[in-house]
Amino acid sequence: MMDCERIADQFGAFYEGDSDAQTEKMVKEHLKSCEACREDFKWYGVTIQAMANLEQVAPPNDFLQQLNARIDKTSSPFRSIISQIKNLLNSLPTVPVPVGTVSLAFVTVIAFFVYYAPSEIIQTGKSDMTAKREASTPPIEVASRTVQPHMVASAPFASQPAPYSRALVPYDGAGRPSSATVSWRFPTVADEIGGDNLTVESPRFDIALKNLKDILPDIQGQLIDEKIRWAHGEALVGVIIPCSKYGDLASALVNHGAVEVGARSLESESPAPTRVDNSNVRLYIRFTQAPQ
């Protein structure tokens, strides 16, 4: 019985003539003397022949034409991406397709969310290097944020600089950033301040800017940065003022009459300047051209 098992293990090599001489002789002698193995070996040969004799099949005559049409169809970039994803899913046979499809949908939703989410949410993923960069440069904000006089007196202070914005910002088509998206454009200097600062809209923003400079000495403030783009009708000004003067500055900007503050304010949010030390805050004010 043991011999029969060992002989059966040699059927493949023996059938194909790959056995060495000694094994071949041993198998032959065993087959001569063992009827069961002889019968078994016949069936082994029949099995191989039956598989080799299976019917021949041929592709359709227009196989090449069909293939060329398919290749042309899948050559467009969009279809190519779809095809790559499909191939990826097909190459994971152990994962049921519904799971693969659900995973893909999940990833798509996450990607969509990350791309379009408010920057305040995204900032949790910032690197140290980004944080350092932000600390040394004016922060960037996407949405237009304006201040109402009643809000500024109780303004909280941010301990961290504001986050950087996405590459594109909503734009209402009239020269102003807009929370109601009409189209998208690259951020301008007016967008480059954080949520902790002030936005001033004025029909004559140059006069508003001059007024600000006039106010600064009165409140022991100091101008630290100034970027003006006349062509775009916008300016960004950085100041350091005493914490206690924050409300005074905002009120003075309003009282000077040349400015209009809070035209499109976000009621639920308060400005929060970046604290420089215990007594001073750094504040960026953007001046934008109000519609005439």
Nearest approach, Cβ of residue 10 and other proteins (Å): 9
Nearest approach, Cβ of residue 106 and other proteins (Å): 22
25 versus 133: smaller Cβ distance to other proteins: 25
Among 3, 29, 43, 214, binds other proteins (CB under 8 A): 43
57 binds other proteins (CB under 8 A): yes
Nearest approach, Cβ of residue 78 and other proteins (Å): 15
Among 1, 36, 54, 167, binds other proteins (CB under 8 A): 54
Fill in the amino acid letter for 206. Answer: D
284 binds other proteins (CB under 8 A): no
Encoded one letter per residue, x for contact with other proteins by CB under 8 A and - for no contact, window 68-87 reads x-xx--x-----x------x
96 binds other proteins (CB under 8 A): yes
Burial class from Cβ neighbours inside 10 Å (0-12, 13-18, 19+) for residue 180 reads exposed
Crossing angle of helices 205-218 and 246-255, in 10° steps, is: 140
Q: What CA–CA distances, in Å, run from 176 to 40, 165, 166, 180, 270? A: 88, 16, 17, 11, 21
The total number of residues written for the chain in this structure: 292
39 binds other proteins (CB under 8 A): yes
Among 3, 9, 29, 225, binds other proteins (CB under 8 A): 9
77 versus 173: smaller Cβ distance to other proteins: 77
Q: What CA–CA distances, in Å, run from 7 to 10, 33, 85, 179, 246? A: 5, 12, 50, 83, 97
Q: Using an 8 Å Cβ cutoff, are 243 and 206 in contact?
A: no
Among 64, 104, 107, 121, binds other proteins (CB under 8 A): 64
Tracing tokens 């029909």 back to the chain, one arrives at 203
Distance between CA atoms of residues 168 and 142, nearest Å? 8
Positions in the binding site for other proteins (CB under 8 A)? 8-9, 11-13, 21, 39-40, 42-44, 46-60, 63-64, 66-68, 70-71, 74, 80, 87, 90-91, 93, 96-97
